[in-house]
Structure formats: C-alpha cells, structure tokens
A and B are shown apart, each in its own frame.
Chain A
Amino acid sequence: MRVILRTKPRKKPFIPIEAEAIIPQNFLRKNDITVYEGNKERKLDEIFYITTEGPAVSPDQVEIVLSGETGRIKRVGEYMNAGRIVIEGDIGMHCGNFMSAGEIIIKGNADAWLGREMRGGIIRCEGNASHYCAAGYRGEKRGMRGGIVQVMGNAGDFTAEYLSGGEVTIHGDCGDLPGVEMRGGTLIIGGNCRRPCGNMTGGICMIFGKADAMLPTFRNTGSEEKEYGGHHHRMTMYRGDIANRGKGTLLVKIN
C-alpha cells in the first residue's frame, strides 16, 4: 500500500504540526488519524490531501509518502516498527523518535532530533540534519541505542550526544561537540567538526575531515588505518575522555 500525503495550504503555516500518528501501522486500518496543529486537534484530511494506492496486510507493506510544506511537521515515524516513509522535501523535528524498525528516507533537510532515542531501522537523510541528530532526551542517560542513521549533508551541534549503540554517519561536516557523552556505538564524520567526543566513556568515533579545538584530555595512543569512501586513511588514535575515566576511542585523520 502506498499512502501519499500532500500538504494543504495553511492559514498559519509556521505553527508546528505534531504528527506522531503518521507511521505505517496506523494506515493498515482506516482509522480516524488525527494530528495537532498547535493546540488544536485536526483530522488528517484537514492538513493533507490523501491518496491511497494498493492494499496491505501488514505494516511492512505500507509506504507513506509526504510531500509539500512538510518542514514544520514533527514526530513523523515516532515508534515506527515496520514499513517505509519517504519525505519528498524537508521534515520537522523528532523524525523517527524511538523508531525500532523500517526505513525513513528524507530527500530534503531534517530538523533537530532526527532519530532521537532510535532503537533500530534505518534513517537516510539526503540533505542536512540539524542539531542533536541521533541524540537522546534531556536527563536520559542513553541516546540512540541501535539502528543506522545516514546523513548525506551536514549535521548541527551535539550530533549523536549520548550515543549508546548503532551507527551514525555524517558524510558532510558536523558542528560543535559531536559525540559528546558518547558511551557506545559508532559515529563516523566524513567532514570537519569542532571539539569531538567531550566526556565520552565508550564507543568509537572516526573523523575523516579536520577536528578543530581538540580537547586536551585525550591520550594519543598511536595510529591506525581506516577505510572511508573507498579510500584508506591514516588516523591518529586517541583514548578518552581522560576527564571522565573514559574508555572511548577517537580516530582523527592525519592530514
């Protein structure tokens, strides 16, 4: 089954829409799916033109396609456990929160908290991701625990904060403090970043661009070769964060 959701024009286009109901399993039965526009509950067809093609008997046979002005739509794919969501343009915050299986493709940019506390499945963002990509929630000790996040463009600050499992790849640049408080999993940064892995206690972070403002509390333990983008790169290997009894591994390309 393919469900196409195209946004209708809105009177107040800047008010965010919360749409955690947009996940494949909810479209199996013709439920009264609702979303929120600010503090008002709306029926799905008040916000979208809806087209449904073909049948499905299980959520993994459902594909949802979102198009139009989708940059303010939050929480799409939250708790998704099967199927596929394709976003033709940009997507709002918290896309793929707690996702455990299935696939989300974003053809534009993703707003903050992409794949927050993700457990499994794949998110692929072809544009840029904003801050806290593949990160956690305030006060919680573990962020993303499993699955794969791939960002073809750049990501903002605090990328993969509290990463505990799974693999996050940012092919472009990251902002400040990627991998901060990281405790497991793998973070790969194809481009440049600042102050990577502050306070990390575990996991592996590899930086194939430049790492500015490296923190003074990482111990250089030699070098190693790593592959990225079809090439082998010589990397300096650091252990840390020493400020925090950390046993994480940080690899930075030798330029």
Chain B
Amino acid sequence: MSELLVRNAYVIDPLSGIKGDVMDIAIRDGKIVEEVGRNAEVIDADHCLTLPGGVDSHSHVCGTKVNFGRYMSPEDMRAGRTARKGVMHVTSGYSVPTTFGNSYRYSIMGYTTILEGAMAPLEARHTHEEFTATPHQDMLANTLFDGNWSIMEAVREKDVKRAAAVVAWTLSAVKGFAIKLTNPGGTEAWGWGEDVHSILDQVPHFGVTPAEIIETMIRANELLNLPHSVHIHCNALGVPGNYRTTLDTLDLVPDLNDKRQTLYLTHLQFHSYGGSTWKDISSKSEDIARAVNNKPQVAIDMGQIMFGRTTTMTADGPMEFKLYMLHHNKWSNHDVELETGSGIIPVYYSRKSLVNCVMWAIGLELALLTKDPWQCMLSTDNPNGAPFVKYPEIIALLMSRRFRENELALLDPRTAHYVPLPAIDRELDWYDIAVMTRAGQAKALGITGVGKGHLAPGAEADIAIYPLKPDSLDPSTEYQQVMAGFGKTRYTIKRGRVVARDGEVVVEGANSTIWTKAITPPEFDLSVDPEFVKKFEQYYTVRMSNYPVQDVYLPRGVCIATEASL
C-alpha cells in the first residue's frame, strides 16, 4: 500500500464542481481517496494551481504516419535532442519528437492521458508498440473508418446495424478506442488521386456520400453505446470557403446522447475559412461558433496554429498533396488498403503570411466565441498546427487580451480586415482553462468513468501541480508567468506516483492503453460473416487471423466494455 497526501492545493476540479478551493488530496494505491494515514508521504502544494492530469483529446504522437514524420525529417530530429540521463532515455525531435520525447515533454507539462488522433486499423499494432514506448501517459487510439469498404457498403445498403457490427469487430480486433472519420469518403477517392469536395459528393465506385457515411456512423456509434462520440475531421480541410462544408456537417448532427456530445469535430480552425481562394481567405469563426453555441450536442477542438516550423500529418491524403503543391518541400503519402490513407509534409507558419495570420486568429476566435468551455477543447492538432509544447502560450493568449494585442501587432497588418479577433474582449479564466485542457476533454472522450479528468475519490490519481498562484496572479497582465507556469509543473503525479518534478522526469513510467469492446449479439459477429471474411480472403494482403492486435501488445490494457443495442 502506498499513500500520498497533497496538502494546501489550490484545486480546480470542474467535474467535481470545485472552482478554486484550497484543500488536501489523499491518494492510496494510485487512486484518489477520502483520507490517508499519518504515515503517508506528503507533498506541500503551497497554494499552487492543482488540476487533474491533463488530457489531450486529439494529438498525433504514435503510429505509422507519426513515425514516418520522424523517419523523413532528420532536420527536425536534430532540432531537439537530449542525452540519456537518469531514468530518461535519449530524445530527439522538435515537431515530431521520439516517443520518449513526446512522453517526457507532455509529462513535464502535466499531461497524463493522450488520445492518438488517427490509427489505421491495418497498422494498429504499430501504434500500440509506440504506446508502450510512451510511458508517462495513458493512451487511447481513434480508429479510422473514413474509407472502410465494409462500412461504405453498409452505408450504401442503409444498414446501420451492419455498420455498427463492422465497428465493433474492428475496434475490438485492433484495440481501438473510438470511431474516427478523416475526410470521410475522401481518402477512398484519393486511392484514385481524387477527392470529395462537399458532404454531398459521391465517393467513386461506392455510391455513397460523406453525409451518408457521417450520419450512419453517428447512429452506429450510439447503437454500440461507445464512451466517445464519432470523432470527425471534416471534408475540405484547409480549403478557402470550407466553412460551408463544416456548417453542413454540423447540420447533420442529431442529439442522441445525454452524457456527452453526439459528434466531436476536431481541429475546427482548419475548417472555418471563408473566401474562395488563398488571396481572399477570411475567418468564419463567428458563423462556426454560432452554430456550435446553438448545438449543445457537438464538441470541438481548436486546432490552433502557432508561428514557426512544424510537420503536418493526417490521414487526409488528398489534403496533404494540395498542401504540398503550395509548399514544394517534401511530401509523403501512405494509402492503406480498404481503409484509409495518410499524408505528411513539413510546413513553416509565418507571421509574414496573411493566410497563416488568419489561421492563427481563427483558432483563438473559436475558443473565445464558443460560450461553453465544455464544448471547445484546447488543441493544436499536434503537430499540425504546432507542437504541443506551445500549449502554454495558447493558454496565455486565451487568458490575456493584452498578449493577443501585442501579438497581433507583429502580424501582417492586413490581418485585421479578415478576422474578428481584435474586437474580442473575452479573457478566459483558470476554470475555463481547466475545462478545456482536461475536464472537458475527459467528458468528451467519455472516460470520466475510468477515473480520468477529475479528482473525486475513486478517480485515478493523475494530478498536475503548476507553479502558479491564482490568488495573486493576474493572467491578463502577467501572461508571461502563466506561460512559464503551464510549461513546467512543480509535480506531475501519475497514478499516485510523482513522475515529473520541476521539469525533470523522475521515473521510467508504465502506462495503460484504454480501448473499447462493444459486445454484440452472435448474429452480428463478423468473424464468421461470409462477406466480411471474403474481404480478407480476396482483397486484404494480411490474413484475417493475423489482423487482430494480440494482447501482448497491451501489457496494461484497460478495456471499456459496452453492451451494444443491436
């Protein structure tokens, strides 16, 4: 039995309704408890801001395309190298760090749970291998279904239950967490070098539209009673005028779940563009935020971009090719048979580029114009908008109008004509930030039940103590301190153990992988379904028996089992 007592913590725990109380937190064997004995180890938080461990609900850190981002970028690897030291392994990389680099840097910032934004089922084993080498965070994997042939066939047949059965089999086989749709239909079209341009375009050869895929998958998801909603990267990412596609997508969303949103729209900054070309691109954040405010059944994340060098990587293969045609740097693409695709290119977001300045403003606007912080998560779509190490700076921008003004003054002066940001006064408070960086994310992912995102007794003892004293710090003016404070915890506690302290990693760590298994009635068991089995026999290049991820890849798997309503 190990016991730990965090004393004098200035706690914000939104899910428990605690909005800034000084209190003690008792921990026994990795869980929060009511109280501990007198021999418990004590940490004095000294009135510092104490939050549940950070949760990132959309980040690219592990798997085939992330690793290819590293593989193709020795110039990025040399931009951030540390030697082996104590329990820390060597790390390399700035925008796409090595797994240990990601893990340590997140840990130092107080993050203890990360959802990998895109895992191709066929290559799931790879993602899980890298999860094991990301030892300081519990990991979850969004599983890609955007171009899945069996899904599109079910959609064509208007058979929601079959779609649900495909999802159930696949998530369980690949130890995935949730349904991800990346440019639904577009990744299949990209198999022919084409794309879909609106939610009503037909996917070549399959006779379905993105809208039909989205609607079917939303309903299938709820039939399976999965913890998270469908998680979508909308069509037409990064295209001027794409806000209409985003609004059309928002219009599709019914309200089917009283515990959480029915659709999670990721990196919405990239989907909120007005104009018709790169020359007249403008912010449509107000239209998008209005739609989000009117639809409590959706949640979004920002997809903030920050200026500097980074690497973009997404399952959205056709989008990456378009981006490549603009940047002419290097381009990788990796289509995955019967399932999805992916692309990678390095980018440099410049204050001298009007387009980039508009993008920068949109992300912030979305966060500031969305009234309910539970509906908008803080993210950069790491590393697409910026590496996650920029989160503290984004927090500071959201909390300080002055900081935003100072930054705006450095941008292309035309920016103000294309964006509403200069007129927005709102400054988020500590509570908003606590929601947007952990509580809201845990709720949106549906993992509060496994003890994530809060500090009530029974929760996992994942805690971040920041060297910030909300009682005496004015974020509006002292934004530099805010930025520094969120960059480096005094303590990061993972499952009751201090894992990082004042920027130093102190244990090797051992994480869990959270996955979902929807239990279906026997008639929906696709492992014996002739049509489904035929896919493997004839079209996949891997045998069906070699496809599922073996248990050995999840040394500490946490399965969330649900009973499907089929």
In the complex, chain B residues whose CB is within 8 Å of the CB of A138: 74-75
5 interchain pairs (CB within 8 A)?
A139-B75, A140-B74, A140-B75, A141-B75, A141-B329
Contact with B along A128-141 (1 / 0, CB 8 A): 00000000011111
A141 to B328, CA, bound (A): 11
Report whether B74 and A137 are in contact in the complex, using a CB–CB cutoff of 8 Å.
yes
> Residues of A at under 8 Å CB distance from B?
137-141
In the complex, chain A residues whose CB is within 8 Å of the CB of B73: 139
A137 to B75, CA, bound (A): 7
Q: Separation in Å of the B351 CB from the closest CB of chain A?
A: 20
Q: Separation in Å of the B103 CB from the closest CB of chain A?
A: 24
In the complex, chain A residues whose CB is within 8 Å of the CB of B534: none
Q: Does B72 contact A (CB under 8 A)?
A: yes
Q: Separation in Å of the A144 CB from the closest CB of chain B?
A: 15
Report whether A139 and B74 are in contact in the complex, using a CB–CB cutoff of 8 Å.
yes
Contact with A along B64-96 (1 / 0, CB 8 A): 000000001111101000000000000000000
Which of B72, B78, B329 is in CB contact (< 8 Å) with A137?
B78
Dominant secondary structure at the B interface: loop
Dominant secondary structure at the A interface: loop
In the complex, chain B residues whose CB is within 8 Å of the CB of A140: 74-75
Q: Which chain B residue has the least Cβ–Cβ distance from A201?
A: B328
> Residues of B at under 8 Å CB distance from A?
72-76, 78, 329
Chain A to chain B: the 7 pairs with minimum beta-carbon distance, closest first: A139-B74, A139-B75, A140-B75, A138-B74, A139-B73, A137-B75, A141-B329
A141 to B329, CA, bound (A): 8
A141 to B74, CA, bound (A): 11
Q: Which chain A residue has the least Cβ–Cβ distance from B78?
A: A137
In the complex, chain B residues whose CB is within 8 Å of the CB of A141: 75, 329
Q: Which chain A residue has the least Cβ–Cβ distance from B77?
A: A139
A49 to B73, CA, bound (A): 41
A138 to B72, CA, bound (A): 10
Report whether B72 and A139 are in contact in the complex, using a CB–CB cutoff of 8 Å.
yes
A139 to B75, CA, bound (A): 6
Q: In the complex, given contacts A139-B72, A141-B75, what are 12 additional A-B residue pairs having Cβ atoms less than 8 angstroms apart?
A: A137-B74, A137-B75, A137-B78, A138-B74, A138-B75, A139-B73, A139-B74, A139-B75, A139-B76, A140-B74, A140-B75, A141-B329
Q: Separation in Å of the A176 CB from the closest CB of chain B?
A: 22
In the complex, chain B residues whose CB is within 8 Å of the CB of A137: 74-75, 78
A137 to B76, CA, bound (A): 11
A141 to B346, CA, bound (A): 11
In the complex, chain A residues whose CB is within 8 Å of the CB of B74: 137-140
A194 to B73, CA, bound (A): 29
Q: Separation in Å of the B95 CB from the closest CB of chain A?
A: 13
A124 to B74, CA, bound (A): 29
In the complex, chain A residues whose CB is within 8 Å of the CB of B76: 139
Interface centre among B72, B74, B329 (most CB of A within 10 A): B74
In the complex, chain B residues whose CB is within 8 Å of the CB of A139: 72-76
Q: Separation in Å of the B350 CB from the closest CB of chain A?
A: 15
Q: Separation in Å of the A145 CB from the closest CB of chain B?
A: 14
A139 to B77, CA, bound (A): 10
A139 to B73, CA, bound (A): 6
A140 to B309, CA, bound (A): 13
A138 to B330, CA, bound (A): 13
Q: Separation in Å of the B365 CB from the closest CB of chain A?
A: 33
Q: Which chain A residue has the least Cβ–Cβ distance from B76?
A: A139
A192 to B74, CA, bound (A): 32
In the complex, chain A residues whose CB is within 8 Å of the CB of B329: 141
A165 to B75, CA, bound (A): 19
Q: Which chain B residue has the least Cβ–Cβ distance from A136?
A: B75
Q: Separation in Å of the B343 CB from the closest CB of chain A?
A: 18
Q: Which chain B residue has the least Cβ–Cβ distance from A245?
A: B328
Q: Separation in Å of the B278 CB from the closest CB of chain A?
A: 20
Q: Which chain A residue has the least Cβ–Cβ distance from B72?
A: A139
In the complex, chain A residues whose CB is within 8 Å of the CB of B75: 137-141
Q: Separation in Å of the B329 CB from the closest CB of chain A?
A: 7
Q: Separation in Å of the A134 CB from the closest CB of chain B?
A: 18
A185 to B74, CA, bound (A): 24
Interface centre among A138, A139, A140, A141 (most CB of B within 10 A): A139
Q: Which chain B residue has the least Cβ–Cβ distance from A142?
A: B75
A138 to B74, CA, bound (A): 6
Q: Which chain B residue has the least Cβ–Cβ distance from A137?
A: B75
Q: Separation in Å of the B319 CB from the closest CB of chain A?
A: 22
Q: Separation in Å of the B483 CB from the closest CB of chain A?
A: 29
Q: Separation in Å of the A133 CB from the closest CB of chain B?
A: 20
Q: Separation in Å of the A240 CB from the closest CB of chain B?
A: 17
A140 to B329, CA, bound (A): 10
Q: Which chain B residue has the least Cβ–Cβ distance from A141?
A: B329
A140 to B346, CA, bound (A): 11
Q: Separation in Å of the B158 CB from the closest CB of chain A?
A: 48
Q: Separation in Å of the B92 CB from the closest CB of chain A?
A: 13
Q: Separation in Å of the B565 CB from the closest CB of chain A?
A: 51
A138 to B73, CA, bound (A): 8
A137 to B73, CA, bound (A): 11
In the complex, chain A residues whose CB is within 8 Å of the CB of B78: 137
Q: Separation in Å of the A114 CB from the closest CB of chain B?
A: 19
A137 to B329, CA, bound (A): 15
Q: Separation in Å of the A168 CB from the closest CB of chain B?
A: 21
In the complex, chain A residues whose CB is within 8 Å of the CB of B72: 139
A116 to B346, CA, bound (A): 22
Q: Which chain A residue has the least Cβ–Cβ distance from B73?
A: A139
Interface centre among B72, B74, B75, B76 (most CB of A within 10 A): B75
Q: Which chain B residue has the least Cβ–Cβ distance from A140?
A: B75
A122 to B75, CA, bound (A): 25
A93 to B36, CA, bound (A): 61
Q: Separation in Å of the B124 CB from the closest CB of chain A?
A: 28
A213 to B74, CA, bound (A): 31
A241 to B74, CA, bound (A): 26
A138 to B76, CA, bound (A): 10
A255 to B123, CA, bound (A): 58
Q: Separation in Å of the A232 CB from the closest CB of chain B?
A: 38
Q: Separation in Å of the A78 CB from the closest CB of chain B?
A: 13
Q: Separation in Å of the A187 CB from the closest CB of chain B?
A: 22
Q: Separation in Å of the B345 CB from the closest CB of chain A?
A: 12
A137 to B78, CA, bound (A): 10
Q: Separation in Å of the B313 CB from the closest CB of chain A?
A: 16
A137 to B74, CA, bound (A): 8
Q: Separation in Å of the B98 CB from the closest CB of chain A?
A: 16
A218 to B246, CA, bound (A): 47
A139 to B345, CA, bound (A): 12
Q: Separation in Å of the B346 CB from the closest CB of chain A?
A: 9
A141 to B78, CA, bound (A): 14
Q: Separation in Å of the A132 CB from the closest CB of chain B?
A: 14
A140 to B73, CA, bound (A): 8
Q: Separation in Å of the A52 CB from the closest CB of chain B?
A: 31
Q: Separation in Å of the B73 CB from the closest CB of chain A?
A: 6
A137 to B72, CA, bound (A): 13
A141 to B76, CA, bound (A): 12
A141 to B309, CA, bound (A): 13
A125 to B76, CA, bound (A): 31
A139 to B78, CA, bound (A): 10
A138 to B329, CA, bound (A): 14
Q: Separation in Å of the B30 CB from the closest CB of chain A?
A: 39
A11 to B78, CA, bound (A): 32
Q: Separation in Å of the B339 CB from the closest CB of chain A?
A: 29
A139 to B72, CA, bound (A): 7
A239 to B74, CA, bound (A): 31
Q: Separation in Å of the B94 CB from the closest CB of chain A?
A: 13
